[in-house]
Structure 1
Amino acid sequence: MTAATRENTPVALEGNGVEVRMQEAGGDMTVAFIHLPEGTDMAPAFKGLKDDLCQCPHWGYLLKGRIRMRTPSGEEIYEAGQAYYWSPGHAPEALEDSDLVEYSPTAEFTEVIDHVKAQG
């Protein structure tokens, strides 16, 4: 794969306004187009994972919105226009409607998405 768009990337997870579209990008990495509506708190969906946090690293860019990222060492606010790296051990909360593009290791990201789907 050399390029992906939101429109041609399959939906892997959706519900309550959350949408995650994922496609393998090569080199054991996956690209994801993510929409989190304002007020979305992913922490409850991560219960049962190690430390009840997402354990997948993500490299990405926040296209729109604001995200509060909570980690064991504290929290940080990310805003539209910022590129980021989120190491394993985090839980995001959308402070505004947010759209992100992320690259993540396929195996770890799939494990997290499968866990979130199993939560209900």
Structure 2
Amino acid sequence: MRKVSRSEAASHTAIPGYADAYEQEIGDWTVTLESDLSDMDLAPFFKGAPNDQCQAHHMGYVVKGRFGYRIGDGVEEIFEAGEAFVIEPGHTPIMFAGGEFVAFTPTDEAKQEAAVMRPNIMKYAKEHGIEL
């Protein structure tokens, strides 16, 4: 498959009340179509990664609302609808309710990122009574 849509994506991850994401590998890239349903600093989901930060590169485009990230020294960058972005390794994402974006991540890096995030998301869901 050389394209991706919500209806045909290989993977769908829904975290009720928080996020709804669809992913598809295309060649060496993982394409993510994400809708964020609440404001949240995602730093807790990267515990255990080097420096407790995402180590992946991302390129993308904000379709609606806002999306951002924070680096280790606390500096934040926020992207608004209609803006493209490039994010280097060493960050933690910040999501905003009503935000929608498309992101492109090298697949090997996306898999490493997911391996760190999954157990942290499961722990968070259990602690907050979220059924996944």
TM-score, L = length of structure 1: 0.88
2:40 is equivalent to residue 40 of structure 1: yes
The answer as to whether partners of 1:67 and 1:96 remain within 8 angstroms in 2 is no
List, as ranges, runs of 4+ consecutive aligned residues in structure 1 with deviation greater than 4 Å: none
Structure with the higher fraction of residues in strand conformation = 1
Question: 1:12 Cα deviation (Å)?
Answer: 4.7
Percent identity at matched positions? 33
Aligned to 1:18: 19
Structure with greater proportional helix content: 2
Alignment RMSD (CA, Å):
1.6
Q: Give the counterpart letter for 1:85 in structure 2.
A: V
* Partner Cα separation in structure 1 for residue 71 and residue 31 of structure 2: 23
- Partners of 1:34 and 1:58 lie apart in 2 by 13
What residue is the counterpart of 2:82 in the other structure?
Answer: 81
Unaligned runs of 5+ in 1: none
Q: Which amino acid aligns with 2:116?
A: H
- With 45-54 and 2-11 compared, the bigger mean Cα shift is at 2-11
1-side partners of 2:90 and 2:115: how far apart? Answer: 17
Distance verdict in 2 for CA 1:87–1:78, change over 3 Å: same
Deviation at 1:58, TM superposition (A): 0.5
CA deviation profile, 1:1-50 (whole Å, cap 9, x unmatched):
32211221133533143122211111x11111112222122111011111
* TM-score (normalizing by structure 2): 0.81
- Conservation of the 8 A alpha-carbon contact between 1:68 and 1:77: yes
What SS does the aligned partner of 2:116 have? helix
Partners of 1:34 and 1:69 lie apart in 2 by: 15
Matches within 5 A, 1:107-118: 107-118=108-119
The separation in 1 between residues aligned to 2:12 and 2:32, in whole angstroms, is 9
Which amino acid in the other structure matches residue 33 of structure 2? F
Bigger-Rg structure (1/2): 2
